[in-house]
């Protein structure tokens, strides 16, 4: 912002200005060549000038390629660049947001997700792939281990289902709903494995 000067026969003056509180500053007399403080350039030593004059890109790099690389990096998820603490804080905020939902909204979410899970079925190709994978495993010990793990998962699904049915767990999270939806697939896989033994 340029300072307004007034020149008359007695010399050069900075014009009177009004303060924010409504009072007026008196005009000040200045010499020729006066530069106001806010217009004086900031001193920079030779090292600062050198680094400011350096190009931002490596020698020979195309600026278009650099712009594409920067835009590609910005497209990546924000969570990947966050620290552990920031990620943890984001999870906490999401939990609070889920808990602050009204019970009616949560019930609607649960119903919508359960309908989606009912629609999801294991396709014939997935069944064939799992059957081929299990047939490729020749050892009975590995099959027994898989059966044990599947039974454990089914127990967890049943316990979760009991909690939801009894009302002990009013608003299950998305992970819990996913686990409930995998129950039938786990049972089918268990039957396949038991059939091989």
Q: 51-62 pLDDT, tens per residue?
A: 888 888 888 888
Q: Please, is 52 exposed, middle or buried when counting C-beta atoms within 10 Å of its C-beta (0-12, 13-18, 19+)?
A: exposed
Residues 75 and 114 in one domain: yes
| Residue 18, phi then psi, degrees to nearest 5 | -100, 135
d(CA 27, CA 32): 16
Answer whether residue 155 is part of any domain.
Answer: yes
Of all residues in the chain, what percent are helix, strand and coil, respectively (each to 5)? 60, 5, 30
Give me the pLDDT at residue 24, please.
Answer: 94
Rg of the chain (C-alpha set): 36
Does 93 lie in the same domain as 60?
yes
More reliable by pLDDT, 78 or 106? 106
Is 73 among the domain residues? yes
Phi, psi of 31 (to 5 degrees): -85, 165
Instruction: List Cβ<8 Å contacts ≥24 apart for 192-195.
Output: 192/127, 192/130, 192/131, 192/134, 193/134, 193/143, 193/146, 193/147, 193/150, 194/147
Are the C-beta atoms of 63 and 57 separated by less than 8 Å? Answer: yes
> pTM higher than 0.85 for the full model?
no
Within a domain: residue 147?
A: yes
- Residue at a domain's end among 72, 90, 119: 119
Mean predicted lDDT score pLDDT of the chain: 79
Does residue 103 share a domain with residue 64?
yes
d(CA 195, CA 45): 81
Determine, yes or no, domain membership for 38. Answer: no
In a domain, 31, yes or no: no
Number of domains in the chain: 2
More confident residue, 49 or 109: 49
The answer, yes or no, to whether residue 161 has pLDDT greater than 90, is no
Largest distance between two CA atoms of the chain:
113
- 155 and 108 share a domain? no
Instruction: Residue 88: give the domain boundaries.
Output: 55-119
pLDDT at residue 15 is higher than 80: yes
């Amino acid at each position: 912002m340029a300072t307004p000067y007034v020149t008359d026969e007695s010399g050069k003056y900075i014009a009177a200005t009004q303060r924010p509180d409504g009072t007026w500053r008196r005009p000040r007399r200045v010499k020729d060549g006066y530069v106001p403080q806010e217009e004086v350039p900031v001193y920079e030593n030779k090292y600062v000038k050198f680094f400011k004059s350096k190009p931002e890109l490596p020698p020979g790099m195309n600026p278009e390629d650099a712009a594409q690389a920067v835009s590609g990096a910005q497209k990546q998820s924000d969570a990947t660049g966050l620290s552990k603490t920031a990620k943890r804080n984001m999870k906490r905020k999401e939990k609070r947001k889920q808990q602050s939902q009204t019970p009616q909204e949560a019930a609607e979410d649960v119903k919508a997700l359960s309908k989606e899970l009912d629609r999801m079925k294991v396709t014939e190709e997935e069944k064939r792939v799992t059957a081929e994978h299990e047939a490729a495993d020749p050892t009975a010990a590995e099959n027994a281990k898989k059966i044990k793990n599947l039974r454990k998962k089914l127990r967890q699904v049943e316990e979760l289902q009991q909690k939801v049915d009894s009302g002990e767990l009013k608003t299950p999270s998305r992970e819990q709903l996913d686990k409930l939806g995998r129950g039938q697939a786990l049972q089918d896989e268990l039957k396949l494995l038991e059939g091989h033994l």
